[in-house]
């Protein structure tokens, strides 16, 4: 008996729908992790301490972060371990992504910025001379000369802010305990 | 397949471009992802009513524990003083300084003065980590108030 062979042409195609679903989930995960508030934090190595309190972000909403950091790609001194860069032009103070050099004009601009940020929590609202209850986190590079930290402290105090916190890296060995 | 052409629905959506874009976005966020490191903090205080222009006269503290730190640029050496007593920048010196802070704060506590501040007064050239090291000692000794000196050694 001669049956005629029926040729069924099947279209072979990869089902992309589950892949798209997974990709969307991954995208969501990475987007949520890329916390945009992290722009407050400049790239640096803070000093190490073993008796610090762990910083919980939920407890510090509204806190101002002042970074004192080194920023020069061609600094021979800073790249040597343990050496301290004393070139003032290589150091900056950054607040909310705005960078200020250690010059009088820039420091004046920094104080204005801090003062504007402090206004929201003044003890006497509207009075620029009254103190502010807002917290300030000072993130200094471990090798930053203290005078640069001091310049930032002066401007912080000048803006009426006095509640400060110092950012440190918690020593790994102390976490194990 | 959803969106693709079928016998009922001859108009299909080409999802290849969408997949490409999502891949690119995923790559971007993966590369920019930086897991939050374990950060710590130490509370400190700036003198109130000192920075902001205020008519309030600041009362100078009569009781304080002052640690002076300076940096010898020529010898690249840290010099520390507890009040007037020199404390070497060594591991033994660290233990000694911590002991002195402990004893001094304990003696103030015994007098009922628990909020006597430790003032860390450092010179301009002192690396920040040295100041934080002293702050760490204060934290270890349960000193509640750590202040930054804005004066003498820095000048």
pLDDT average, residue stretch B58-66: 65
Please check whether residue A78 touches B, CB under 8 A. Answer: no
Number of H helices, E strands in chain B: 3, 6
Query: What is the spatial distance between Cα B70 and Cα B75, in angstroms, rounded to a whole number?
Result: 12
Place of tokens 């060995």: A173
**Residue A47 class from Cβ within 10 Å (0-12 exposed, 13-18 middle, 19+ buried)?**
buried
Q: Which among B43, B52, B130 has CB closest to A131?
A: B52
Q: Report the pLDDT value the prediction gives residue A38, as an integer from 0 to 100.
A: 55
Radius of gyration (Cα) for chain B, nearest Å? 29
What integer pLDDT is reported at residue B24 of this predicted model? Answer: 84
- Nearest Cβ partner of B50 from A46, A48, A157? A157
- Confidence at residue A105, expressed as pLDDT on a 0 to 100 scale: 93
Find, among B70, B42, B97, B60, the residue nearest to A147 by Cα.
Answer: B70
**Residue B58 near residue B45 (C-beta atoms within 8 A):** no
Residue A16, domain member (yes or no):
no
pLDDT at A34: 66
- Average pLDDT for chain A: 82
The better pLDDT of the pair A148, A5 is held by A148
Residue with tokens 């987007």: A31
Q: Residue ranges per domain, chain B?
A: 65-154
pLDDT digits (tens, 9 = 90+) for A6-34: 666 667 777 778 888 888 888 888 777 76
pLDDT band at A39 (very low <50, low <70, confident <90, very high): low
Residue B26 half-sphere exposure, CB side, CA atoms within 13 Å?
A: 15
Mutation choice for B interface testing from A146, A147, A148 by most B CBs within 10 A = A146
- Rounded distance between C-alpha atoms, residue A114 and residue A100, angstroms: 12
Q: What average pLDDT does this structure show over B119-143?
A: 89
pLDDT bin (cut points 50, 70, 90) of residue A113 is very high
Contacts of A67 in chain B (CB under 8 A): none
Higher pLDDT, A10 or B109: B109
Asked whether the beta carbons of residue B126 and residue A53 sit closer than 8 angstroms, the reply is no
The minimal CB distance from A143 to the residues B36, B127, B148 is found for: B127
Across the range B93-113, mean pLDDT stands at: 88
What residues of chain B lie within 8 A of the CB of A86, using their CB? 125
CATH code, B65-154: 3.30.420.270
Substitution target in A47, A133, A147 with the highest count of B β-carbons within 10 Å is A47
Rounded to two decimals, what is the model's pTM?
0.72
Q: Taking 70 as the threshold, does the pLDDT of residue A141 lie above it?
A: yes
Q: Does A68 touch chain B (CB under 8 A)?
A: yes
Token pair belonging to A100 = 């200020």
Q: From the CA of A45, how many Å to the nearest CA of chain B?
A: 10
Whether residue A23 lies inside any domain: the answer is no
A16: three-class secondary structure by DSSP: coil
Q: A146: which chain B residues are within 8 Å (Cβ-Cβ)?
A: 69, 122-128, 130-131, 154
ipTM: 0.74
Distance, in Å, from the CA atom of B136 to the CA atom of A107, rounded to the nearest integer, reads: 29
Return the residue of B nearest to A47 by Cα: B129
Q: Which residue of A has its CA nearest to B25?
A: A27
Question: Binning pLDDT at 50, 70 and 90, where does residue B62 land?
Answer: low
**Closest CB from A30, A35, A158 relative to B52:** A158
- More confident site: A61 or B100: B100
Q: How far is CA A39 from CA A90, A97, A99, in A?
A: 20, 6, 12
Q: What angle do CA A87, A89, A94 make, to 5 degrees?
A: 120
Task: State which residues form the domain around A164.
Answer: 42-176
**Quick one: pLDDT at residue A177?**
47
Q: What is the pLDDT of residue B150?
A: 65
For residue A106, tell me if it sits in a domain: yes
Total number of domains constituting chain A: 1
């Amino acid at each position: 008996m001669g049956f005629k062979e029926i040729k069924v042409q099947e279209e072979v195609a990869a089902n992309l729908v589950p892949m798209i679903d997974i990709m969307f989930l991954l995208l969501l995960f990475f987007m949520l992790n890329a916390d945009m508030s992290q722009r407050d934090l400049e790239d640096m190595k803070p000093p190490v301490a073993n008796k610090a309190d762990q910083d919980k972000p939920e407890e510090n909403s509204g806190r101002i972060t002042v970074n004192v950091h080194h920023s020069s790609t061609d600094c021979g001194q800073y790249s040597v371990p343990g050496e301290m860069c004393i070139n003032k032009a290589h150091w900056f103070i950054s607040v909310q992504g705005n960078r200020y050099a250690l010059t009088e004009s820039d420091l004046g601009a920094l104080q204005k910025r801090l003062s504007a940020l402090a206004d929201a929590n003044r003890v006497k609202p509207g009075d620029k001379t009254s103190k502010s209850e807002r917290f300030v986190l000072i993130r200094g590079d471990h090798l930053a000369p203290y005078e640069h930290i001091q310049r930032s402290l002066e401007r912080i105090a000048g803006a009426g802010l006095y509640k400060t916190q110092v950012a440190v890296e918690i020593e790994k060995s102390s976490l194990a305990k | 397949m959803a969106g693709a052409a079928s016998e009922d629905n001859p108009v299909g959506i080409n999802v290849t471009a969408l997949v490409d874009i999502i891949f690119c976005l995923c790559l971007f966020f993966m590369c920019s992802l930086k897991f939050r490191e374990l950060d710590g903090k130490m509370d400190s205080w700036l003198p109130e009513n000192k920075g902001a222009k205020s008519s309030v006269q600041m009362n100078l503290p009569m009781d304080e524990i002052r640690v002076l730190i300076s940096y010898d640029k020529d010898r690249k050496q840290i010099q520390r003083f507890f009040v007037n007593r020199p404390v070497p920048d060594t591991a033994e010196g660290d233990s000694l300084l911590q002991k002195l802070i402990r004893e001094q704060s304990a003696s103030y506590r015994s007098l009922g003065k628990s909020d006597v501040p430790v003032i860390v007064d450092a010179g301009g050239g002192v690396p920040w980590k040295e100041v934080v090291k002293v702050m760490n000692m204060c934290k270890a000794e349960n000193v509640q108030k750590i202040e930054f000196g804005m004066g003498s050694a820095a000048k």
